A = this chain, B = another copy of it.
């Protein structure tokens, strides 16, 4: 149980801090959240700065152009960038954290050479075409069809919950290539160029009023067969492989941010007098316990990942269950502290409260996570 960082880790942290302190003041002003091209440019610009400083693809293998950092270094990177207020990964999310690792792991030499460097250099944006209106929790029920026609696949169907679709160059797309096959078979992974004819992107407004997501409609879109990663009908496995890149770090920045928010909420309560309410005060104390523990659980998962070679296993479900609940509790408590201002969408915490509602749904509902924990960790019989 060693929670001290090695001299190498401390040096990595110190260098990163120094670099951040120098570079962050030089950043251009943040673009409006509604200006997608400006957001793309901003996010790619930040990625380019990371690339030039040697931080791009920190957790990618060296042979994929990455830095081959340890999970602990990745944790430090995410902790420090969050604490310094550095830009979020933004438009580079899918490229750096999902499609890129998939290509790095399962792509051919040509595919790696074509797709990976532009992601690292901040030149190309990827989006994700996985979920469908009728395939949410049950992703493998996806129905978007693709059939072979000469050197192309022809794709028809629709995707939902696609971030950055408006400004993406590529979409990592899951399609059904063998309609008769059992669910998880018959799925194929394709890299679809977003400028191909037949693609319609429609912004999808969420309950928070924002349009972070889009629906993507595909009408006989031609995708070269050369853009297929992995074998035909083997796309489910190809996609799952990518998870091994995550190594327990998925929520590092968020936990750091939540702890900062919690402290701000407490200070706000002191300022506006709600601190005198012992029930509310102790509730904030309890949340302090939760988020301290979540930070330690992150360190635990990262240590496990570092020790076992990278695959995080189902510990991620345990973390996600606890974290998504704690995050919702945090913004409920913030609303208590705000009092009438909790009805003000102009307050950041009010919007955060709304968006926190998705945490028990997106990327596997809490119900599904509990099934995973029960069946795969506790060995209970398959639920029915």
User: Which A residues contact B (CB, under 8 angstroms)?
Assistant: 277-279, 282, 384
Contacts and interface: CB of A to CB of B under 8 A. Distances in A.
A277 B280 CA distance: 12
> How many copies of this chain does the complex contain?
2
A277 B278 CA distance: 7
Indicate the member of A279, A282, A384 with the most B CB atoms within 10 Å.
A279
SS class of chain A's interface: helix, strand, loop or mixed? helix
Contact of A384 (B278, B282, B384): B384
A277 to B, nearest CB: 7
A329 to B, nearest CB: 16
Nearest to A383: B384
A327 B278 CA distance: 25
Contacts of A282: 279
Contacts of A277: 278
A278 B280 CA distance: 10
Nearest to A279: B279
A42 to B, nearest CB: 45
A30 B4 CA distance: 66
Nearest to A282: B279
Contacts of A384: 384
A379 to B, nearest CB: 20
Nearest to A283: B279
Nearest to A384: B384
Contacts of A278: 277-279
6 contacts: A277-B278, A278-B278, A278-B279, A279-B279, A279-B282, A384-B384
Contacts of A279: 278-279, 282
A139 to B, nearest CB: 21
Nearest to A281: B279
A277 B384 CA distance: 45
A17 to B, nearest CB: 41
A384 B384 CA distance: 5
A380 to B, nearest CB: 15
A141 to B, nearest CB: 18
A278 B278 CA distance: 6
A357 to B, nearest CB: 23
A330 to B, nearest CB: 18
A245 to B, nearest CB: 36
A279 B336 CA distance: 14
A355 B143 CA distance: 53
A282 B336 CA distance: 15
Nearest to A278: B278
A45 to B, nearest CB: 49
A231 B278 CA distance: 64
A332 to B, nearest CB: 16
Q: Which 3 A-B pairs have the closest CB atoms?
A: A279-B279, A384-B384, A278-B278
Nearest to A280: B279
A282 B384 CA distance: 41
A277 B277 CA distance: 10
A279 B281 CA distance: 10
A174 B277 CA distance: 56
A218 B282 CA distance: 56
Nearest to A277: B278
